[in-house]
Amino acid sequence: MIPSSKNLLHHVSTALIKNHDLVVAEELRSKNMLQNHALAMSITDVGWRTLLAMLSYKADLYGRKFLTINPRNTTQTCSDCGHVLTDKNKLTLADRKWTCPSCGTFHVRDHNAAKNILAKGLATL
């Protein structure tokens, strides 16, 4: 990893931990995140593991809680009603916004996934 990306990971992890009592992340980075997340372009697989390790020790350092959760269906689940998109209507990498076919809620993809990730984390507490 080049030094500047390590500095970025330090900056991001410190900001996340210092500004939040609880941080929840997917334990494995999904292909979706690899290709679409705003940070993904500068974070390799090694970088993701490094970021998770930084979040973990910084959470201890600052008295915060850091959890990782299974990434299964975090993108494909409606955070409002729990409907899981099936093969037929699964989101592709290009789908940034979608409407739940079950409850009609409009979602911004990453925001919806973030809500699901947080809910999964909270459920483990």
Residues in contact with Zn ion by the rule CB under 5 A: 78, 80-81, 83, 100, 102-103, 105
- Residue 98: CB minimum distance to Zn ion, A: 10
| Beta carbon nearer to Zn ion, 13 or 76 | 76
- Residue 58: CB minimum distance to Zn ion, A: 35
| Beta carbon nearer to Zn ion, 65 or 83 | 83
- Residue 102: CB minimum distance to Zn ion, A: 5
Tell me 84's DSSP state: B
Supply the DSSP string of 47-82, one letter for each residue: HHHHHHHHHHHHHHHHT-EEEEE--TTTTTB-TTT-
| Beta carbon nearer to Zn ion, 16 or 100 | 100
Give me 16's structure tokens. Answer: 């996340």
| Beta carbon nearer to Zn ion, 80 or 95 | 80
Burial of residue 123 (number of CB atoms within 10 Å: 0-12, 13-18, 19+): exposed
- Residue 77: CB minimum distance to Zn ion, A: 9
d(CA 43, CA 108): 22
